[in-house]
Structure 1
Amino acid sequence: MDDAPILEAADLAKAFAAGGRRTEALAGVSFAIRPGAITGLIGPDGAGKTTLMRLAAGLLVPDAGRIRALGLDSTRDSLAVQAALGYMPQRFGLYEDLSVQENLDLYADLQGVPKAARAARYAELMHMTGLGPFNRRLAGKLSGGMKQKLGLACTLVRAPRLLLLDEPTVGVDPVSRRELWAIVDRLVREEGMSVLLSTAYLDEAERCQAVILLSEGRILDQGPPQAISARMAGRTWAVSTPGGGPRGLQPRLAGHTGVVDALVQGDHVRVVTQAGVDAAALGALPGLEAARIEAVAPRFEDGFIDLLRPGASEAAPALAVAPLAGSAQRGADGAPVIEVDGLRRRFGSFWAVDGVSFQVRRGEIFGLLGANGAGKSTTFRMLCGLLPASGGHLRVAGLDLRHAAAAARARIGYMSQKFSLYGNLSVAQNLDFFASAYGLAAAQRAQRRDWALREFELGDHADRLSADLSLGHKQRLAMACALMHAPEILFLDEPTSGVDPLARREFWQRINALAHAGVTIMVTTHFMEEAEYCDRVAIMAAGRILAMDEPAALKAAARTAECPAPSMEDAFVRLVESAPAAEQAA
């Protein structure tokens, strides 16, 4: 019995119809998951991961094939399956007006947990998640990481044999992400639980005992992640050029035939080549004659990208910024275009931002990192003139936001975490709306709409409702809307949260092109490897800046005997965990 698959599918198929289009979410999917292990479900946006989980949980009926969970048919015995497994969807249904304890009680009632068994289980869950000191706090007042941990605790009030987690770490900071993984590891190790976990973080796939790689509803590969990494031996390189930065080198490498992937990583570009392209062949490419090329160990992400991009690079086209007449990039004299001095913001008795100061130069990419609840989004909203400051001074594009917020907003583009699109408007209508909101005349609106549809490859989707777009296409549209008036400053608030690695790569190629054209960019992100693209990074916790420097300097400061080559995530975690007040915000 122990060797029987805990979850298995055979020739599973499911399609959906929306907006006159038929989408094949899954097509002929077959797998078997062994018990007592963590299996990763990996794939780009729209690959079919959520559909697969909902079929496994008996919440959807397949068009063809079958799926069995815990020895039960998930379609025929759906109620029994739902009573036996645990399922935490991407948007778990916490009741934000109830406290942590009241949410636990509600889910214990829904799952039929006997009252006599609750106290011991609650104590175990509170210890496991670290939520014990917050059990009287309203769920709506928790940080993003704490909400995810509460959602997991509610899913586990009745310990299931099989746990389905649909991207549980999306939108949470690295500290919370490590804590969530520690909980999952403990559940498998100590309770013998089996876990199917989908994730957009490819480093998390390496923590799984097995992975299933999905793309466009079909399985590309499955097996131990180490086996997928090992196939990339001899094809992964660190490339750097004397006197040149990796941000300038990356787009040159990404455009070459034979290069599958090129990613900024510290002071070099990590390159994945096609089979047979060695260091000598790479060094013979134009402009790389003096390059330093070293072999590096392959990782799972290299194999994943190679499977999605068989053959060669699929770099995004260079972005034509095309500023509007009269909005030429001003002040190209090295003077700061964003000046923040002693910035403070209070909500009641709570200081969300408390004495933040920094400057950002024209054409600079400035990263603002921090734990959930650190004050990053509040800082962004103040800089965009969407929220008044409680104290301090703010100047954006040479304008004081206390007295000229409207004039400053005309020179700013803002892309929020939730992509502020109108779901009941088409792609073209969203572009027209934002162009009109930014005050563009009719002729300019048409010109910029055509530009956006072309540059962001949205022409085939112009008449689709934005609500029906994939997450990757929503991200493209949101960025296009923020650029309709050709702003000189662009604020990006966690713009890649939840999107797949290919969409993130395309996004950062566009950001680099904008910075090269003189656009000043401020960005927040929970993907620590994205901080490598920034010229400078500030790390926040509990409303204050803990450290601010170039990424290389922050990593160097985190170097220890135990960790001689720290990543940006290592540097971030070390800084945040060393700040006592951060424990209350994270």
Structure 2
Amino acid sequence: MEEDVIRAEKLNKVFSIKGKKPLTALNGLSLSVKKGELTAVIGPDGAGKTTLMRLIAGLMNPTSGSLTVLGMDSVKDAEEIQSRISYMPQKFGLYEDLTVQENLDLYADLHGVPQEKRPERFGKLLDMMGLAPFTGRFAGKLSGGMKQKLGLACTLVRSPDLLLLDEPTVGVDPLSRRELWKILKTFVKEEHLSIFVSTAYMNEAEMCSHVFVLHKGNLLADGTPEDLCRIADGRCYNVLPEEGVPTRILQAHLIDETKLIVDAVPRGGTVHFIMEKGVDEIPYLKRHHLEPTPVPAKLEDGFMTLLRKAEGHEAPPEEAEDVLDRGGRPSSEVNIVVKNLVKKFGDFTAVSNTSFEVHKGEIFGLLGPNGAGKTTTFKMLCGLLPETSGFLSVAGVDLRKARTQARANIGYVAQKFSLYSHMSVLDNLKFFGGIYGVPKGRLSERIRELCQEFDLEDVLDRLAEDLPGGYKQRLSMAAALLHEPQILFLDEPTSGIDPLARRNFWRRITTLAARGTTIIITTHFMEEAEYCDRFMIQDNGILLAIGSPSEIREELGQPGADMDRIFIEIVERSRKEGEKS
């Protein structure tokens, strides 16, 4: 059909891996994408989303089946297709040592954009992306959100018939994400552009006309966002925890009821959960006399219902009956002290006079837009970056005087997978155990404990590079915990992983905190602030807000607001006040 910009019929893609059984990335996939619409594909790690994108872009050939793009055969007409589409992969190739303008010029040259058409096109793109004042800035000096917008501008230097975007907002803050999606919707409306996008954010998928759900190369479901919401109709509830009980503790109790509960997640100061059909008695809620309230289903509820059906539940962690209730609140013991912290890079102040404390067993979040100073703060707390002035004490050790001693008490999980890709899971754990100085007699026992806790027993012989994203993250966590640190630093640990993997990750973090480990985390998934005992929001190096989720909602007079909204309001309010002064 002319109206279909993409049409797949029984599409298969199998990868041959030397010495291993073939990997089926797409399995008999049939779908069609309409012209002039914003269409999303969602699914967990290993679903086949990126493989599908690369096939559509003509960067690889299918094993069997047929794929037409803009009415042309994806294999025979690959060059013609590529001349009419634009594709922005997850790692888009900006030239960091070129300016914004030079990047645009280079991509215009590559795409053969005539000189006379460039001023008007560049002007529109720079204006829409908010990059007009920064044309002379090097791409490497842009914040993460601005880099993504420049990547999109470079992708759109010509007006394509089809735009492919592979997770364009991973690692981007809510403010920049909102701006990016506003731009996409404008292009659909004004230029009737057809956009096919993969995303890990369900609220982004909700903005699309049609959504495809992939799982292990199969199409689980597709339809409008409203169609996918209906999958969980009549099964969604919100429940308030008892006074003084963190929402993550209630969520953990509910999510462990694997026969009764499909999904549970902290949301808006409550715990939102989906029941299995026909179940109306949940032991924990009855025991604590908690009354759930029925609420409408969201797209994420339909997605989680489909995934749980396809994947089943992970077994809940084995732990003492009362570990969650015992460890639900941080202790009075202070693990981290920050006083008047300042970090300057030449004339630029990245962190300005920041003070706070973090308690033992507390989950403490560092939030802020791209370029806000949170990563700089994070690195100073870890001992990876010296402060310009101020005082920092971690696990009772003054970082200025005894940085090495302080590091012995901390574990660190980097934003980008930082283990050894060409080593097996077991060899990575042995290597990092040696680096952390874990005694040999204790190391094998510790590896066994962590492999059981993080479900790594079945992948011990696999190379780290061959693991799906969720497993890589588990391996990073296990390696960081080998020496049983008092404090665990997590730098955007859930960036780019799907909601199911995020639930499993946070269930483990809840247990760690309950056992007394202090957790410091940076994240761009604002919903994850709900798991924190307290969090702080920074922008332009300045501390804007600090407190528990309920305290910050109360301060803004928005008791049930979601964290994206809270975050955007605090940052925008501060920026407006800054403009006035």
TM-score (normalised: structure 2):
0.94
- Residue 317, structure 1, aligned to residue 316, structure 2: yes
Give, in whole Å, the separation in 1 of the partners of 2:335 and 2:489.
Answer: 13
- Residue 252, structure 1, aligned to residue 253, structure 2: yes
> Partner of 1:486 in structure 2?
484
What amino acid maps onto 1:426 in structure 2?
A: S
Compute the displacement of 1:320 (Å): 6.4
Question: Is 1:18–1:468's contact at 8 Å kept on the other side of the alignment?
Answer: no
Compute the displacement of 1:445 (Å): 1.8
Greater CA deviation, 243-252 or 362-371?
A: 243-252
Question: Is 2:231–2:305's contact at 8 Å kept on the other side of the alignment?
Answer: no
Helix, strand or coil at the partner of 1:539: strand
Greater CA deviation, 67-76 or 391-400?
A: 67-76
Compute the displacement of 1:4 (Å): 2.1
What amino acid maps onto 1:543 in structure 2?
A: G
Aligned counterpart for 1:361 among listed residues 359, 362, 380 = 359
Deviations 1:255-297 (A, max 9, x none): 221211111223321110112224xx34x55754501211011
Question: Is 1:258–1:312's contact at 8 Å kept on the other side of the alignment?
Answer: no
Deviations 1:523-544 (A, max 9, x none): 1100011100001110010111
Cα distance change of structure 1 residues 472 and 92 upon mapping to structure 2, 3 Å threshold: same
Alignment of 1:159-558 (within 5 A): 159-243=159-243, 244-256=245-257, 257-278=259-280, 281-282=281-282, 287-288=286-287, 290-310=289-309, 314-315=313-314, 317-318=316-317, 334-558=332-556
Compute the displacement of 1:246 (Å): 2.2
Deviations 1:37-56 (A, max 9, x none): 11110000110000000000
What amino acid maps onto 2:563 in structure 1?
A: M
Give, in whole Å, the separation in 1 of the partners of 2:371 and 2:49.
Answer: 29
Question: Is 1:542–1:581's contact at 8 Å kept on the other side of the alignment?
Answer: no
Compute the displacement of 1:580 (Å): 2.8
Give, in whole Å, the separation in 1 of the partners of 2:578 and 2:45.
Answer: 33
Alignment of 1:127-166 (within 5 A): 127-166=127-166
> Partner of 1:13 in structure 2?
12
Compute the displacement of 1:242 (Å): 3.1
Helix, strand or coil at the partner of 1:496: coil
Helix, strand or coil at the partner of 2:443: helix
Give, in whole Å, the separation in 2 of the partners of 1:520 and 1:20.
Answer: 43
Cα distance change of structure 1 residues 461 and 569 upon mapping to structure 2, 3 Å threshold: same
> Partner of 2:95 in structure 1?
95
What amino acid maps onto 2:562 in structure 1?
A: S
> Partner of 1:326 in structure 2?
none
User: Which ranges in structure 1 are unaligned for 5 or more consecutive residues?
Assistant: 322-328
Compute the displacement of 1:317 (Å): 3.3
Q: Which runs of 4+ in 1 moved over 4 A?
A: 284-287, 581-584
Give, in whole Å, the separation in 2 of the partners of 1:221 and 1:188.
Answer: 24
Compute the displacement of 1:479 (Å): 0.6
Alignment of 1:30-41 (within 5 A): 30-41=30-41
Compute the displacement of 1:333 (Å): 6.3
Greater CA deviation, 459-468 or 501-510?
A: 459-468
Give, in whole Å, the separation in 2 of the partners of 1:83 and 1:569.
Answer: 38
Give, in whole Å, the separation in 1 of the partners of 2:342 and 2:16.
Answer: 49
Helix, strand or coil at the partner of 2:470: helix
Cα RMSD for the two superposed structures: 2.0
> Partner of 2:58 in structure 1?
58
Question: Is 2:220–2:306's contact at 8 Å kept on the other side of the alignment?
Answer: yes
Helix, strand or coil at the partner of 1:39: strand
Question: Is 2:37–2:209's contact at 8 Å kept on the other side of the alignment?
Answer: yes
User: Which ranges in structure 2 are unaligned for 5 or more consecutive residues?
Assistant: 321-326
What amino acid maps onto 2:10 in structure 1?
A: D
Cα distance change of structure 1 residues 241 and 573 upon mapping to structure 2, 3 Å threshold: closer
Question: Is 1:15–1:26's contact at 8 Å kept on the other side of the alignment?
Answer: yes
What amino acid maps onto 2:420 in structure 1?
A: Y
Give, in whole Å, the separation in 1 of the partners of 2:448 and 2:18.
Answer: 23
Give, in whole Å, the separation in 2 of the partners of 1:140 and 1:101.
Answer: 13
Compute the displacement of 1:553 (Å): 2.2
Question: Is 1:538–1:549's contact at 8 Å kept on the other side of the alignment?
Answer: yes
* Aligned-residue identity in percent: 51
Question: Is 1:258–1:311's contact at 8 Å kept on the other side of the alignment?
Answer: no
> Partner of 1:119 in structure 2?
119
Compute the displacement of 1:240 (Å): 2.8
Question: Is 1:559–1:566's contact at 8 Å kept on the other side of the alignment?
Answer: no
Cα distance change of structure 1 residues 476 and 74 upon mapping to structure 2, 3 Å threshold: same
Question: Is 2:234–2:294's contact at 8 Å kept on the other side of the alignment?
Answer: yes
Give, in whole Å, the separation in 2 of the partners of 1:59 and 1:288.
Answer: 57
What amino acid maps onto 2:134 in structure 1?
A: F
Give, in whole Å, the separation in 1 of the partners of 2:16 and 2:350.
Answer: 44
Give, in whole Å, the separation in 2 of the partners of 1:576 and 1:17.
Answer: 49
Give, in whole Å, the separation in 2 of the partners of 1:413 and 1:582.
Answer: 38
Compute the displacement of 1:565 (Å): 4.1
Question: Is 1:320–1:455's contact at 8 Å kept on the other side of the alignment?
Answer: no
Question: Is 1:100–1:134's contact at 8 Å kept on the other side of the alignment?
Answer: yes
Question: Is 1:255–1:313's contact at 8 Å kept on the other side of the alignment?
Answer: no
What amino acid maps onto 1:34 in structure 2?
A: K
Give, in whole Å, the separation in 1 of the partners of 2:315 and 2:541.
Answer: 36
Give, in whole Å, the separation in 2 of the partners of 1:373 and 1:188.
Answer: 29
Helix, strand or coil at the partner of 1:231: helix
> Partner of 1:28 in structure 2?
28
> Partner of 2:82 in structure 1?
82
Cα distance change of structure 1 residues 316 and 495 upon mapping to structure 2, 3 Å threshold: farther
Give, in whole Å, the separation in 2 of the partners of 1:288 and 1:38.
Answer: 46
Give, in whole Å, the separation in 2 of the partners of 1:73 and 1:216.
Answer: 25
Greater CA deviation, 66-75 or 25-34?
A: 66-75
Question: Is 1:57–1:81's contact at 8 Å kept on the other side of the alignment?
Answer: yes
